[in-house]
Structures are given as structure tokens and as C-alpha cells.
């Protein structure tokens, strides 16, 4: 498992995308699990690798940044992620918000929210949390995030331009 996580993180899952005659790359980082044996070290290496690659435009974090969502783990993750020299966007995973009593509140306070929306070269990126309501439950988008998504899409309906849409979530929805 550790090897798989390390491979996923260090490969930086970059994607080439063609939009409006432009190419761009971004890094997708998930399941760093700060709090386990090598989580912090792996994330530090990942941040250094991303920073050393000028071709990466931005970074998306798709959840489970921490192992248990403790205040200490979330603060440590933020301190490491803040070393990025590129824009970054983050949504929580089930480990970040549902596995501790304070995880959900701490994530909101430290990272400023559980959703994001931005455009880059003709692509629209929306991110939202989608964890279980209870441990080991199926992935579900919280009602307030569904309302947020609906509002984002409603605002776009009347605009004259079109964007390719990418929705970033942590878990598969059932």
C-alpha cells in the first residue's frame, strides 16, 4: 500500500490537456495520509518535485491528506503544502473530515473551505468533498456541497462561452 501511494504521489499524475490551442500540465495529489509512518516525508518530496517542475501550472489535492484528520495532522499538512510555489486547490477526503471529532471543523478553518472553483485555459475545475456520513460508508456529496455545485452550474447556464468541466472528488459516488 505504501509503495502504491508513493508511486501515485511521486508520479505527480500530470495530465496534458489541449484547450484553445494551449497545452498545460497540472499535478493531482491524493492519499498522502500525513500521520502515518512516511506521509509527511512523502508529501515533502512531492512538493519539492512539483516546485522543481516549471511546466506544472497548478496542483489539485483530492483528499485524504491526513490519516486521522487530527488538528496536528491537518496543521502539518498545511505547513508542507504551503511550500508550493504554484497555485493549489484542495478538497477533504474521508480521513480528513470524518475520522476525528474535530477534523471537519479543523479542515474548514485551516484550508478555508471544502470546495473550489476556478478556470484555466478553457477548462473549469470544480472540487467538492464527498466522504461517507459514517466510517466505511459509501461516498456521498454533502447536501450543502450539492447546493453549491448546483449554484455554480446555474450561474454558468446563461454565459455565452463554454468550458470543459472537471469535477474533483475523493471517493467514487454510489
Residue 80's CATH number: 3.60.21.40
The answer to whether residue 149 is domain-embedded is yes
The answer to whether residue 102 is domain-embedded is yes
pLDDT of residue 81: 97
In the chain, % of residues over pLDDT 70: 73
pLDDT of residue 101: 65
133, pLDDT greater than 80 = no
Mean predicted confidence (pLDDT) in 75-83: 96
Identify any residues that bridge with 165 across adjacent strands, giving them in sequence order.
124
The answer to whether residue 100 is domain-embedded is yes
117 versus 129: which is more confidently predicted? Answer: 117
Query: Is the CB of residue 14 less than 8 Å from the CB of residue 47?
Result: no
* Cell numbers linked to 31: 492519499
The answer to whether residue 174 is domain-embedded is no
The answer to whether residue 27 is domain-embedded is yes
The answer to whether residue 142 is domain-embedded is yes
pLDDT of residue 51: 98
The answer to whether residue 89 is domain-embedded is yes
The arrangement of strands across the sheet holding 164-168 comes to 116-120, 123-127, 164-168
For the chain, the average pLDDT equals 80
pLDDT of residue 158: 66
Domain containing 69 equals 2-168
What kind and span of H or E run contains 150?
Answer: helix 143-157
98, pLDDT greater than 90 = no
pTM score, whole prediction: 0.80
pLDDT of residue 27: 96
Number of domains in the chain: 1
Those residues whose C-beta lies under 8 Å from the C-beta of residue 71, and which sit 6 or more positions away, are 102, 106
The answer to whether residue 141 is domain-embedded is yes
Query: Is the CB of residue 171 less than 8 Å from the CB of residue 139?
Result: yes
Amino acid at each position: 500500500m505504501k509503495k502504491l501511494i508513493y508511486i501515485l504521489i511521486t508520479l505527480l499524475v500530470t495530465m496534458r490537456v489541449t484547450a484553445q490551442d494551449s497545452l498545460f500540465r497540472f499535478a493531482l495529489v491524493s492519499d498522502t495520509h500525513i500521520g502515518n509512518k512516511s506521509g509527511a516525508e512523502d508529501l515533502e518530496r512531492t512538493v519539492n518535485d512539483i516546485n522543481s517542475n516549471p511546466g506544472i501550472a497548478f496542483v489539485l489535492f483530492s483528499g485524504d491528506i491526513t490519516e486521522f484528520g487530527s488538528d496536528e495532522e491537518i496543521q502539518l499538512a498545511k505547513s508542507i503544502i504551503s511550500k508550493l510555489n504554484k497555485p493549489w486547490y484542495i478538497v477533504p477526503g474521508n480521513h480528513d473530515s470524518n475520522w476525528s471529532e474535530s477534523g471537519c471543523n479543523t479542515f474548514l478553518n485551516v484550508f478555508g473551505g471544502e470546495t473550489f472553483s476556478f478556470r484555466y485555459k478553457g477548462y473549469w475545475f470544480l472540487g467538492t468533498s464527498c466522504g461517507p456520513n459514517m466510517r466505511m460508508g459509501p461516498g456521498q456529496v454533502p447536501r450543502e456541497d450539492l447546493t453549491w455545485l448546483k449554484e455554480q452550474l446555474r450561474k454558468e447556464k446563461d454565459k455565452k462561452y463554454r468550458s470543459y468541466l472537471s469535477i474533483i472528488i475523493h471517493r467514487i459516488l454510489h
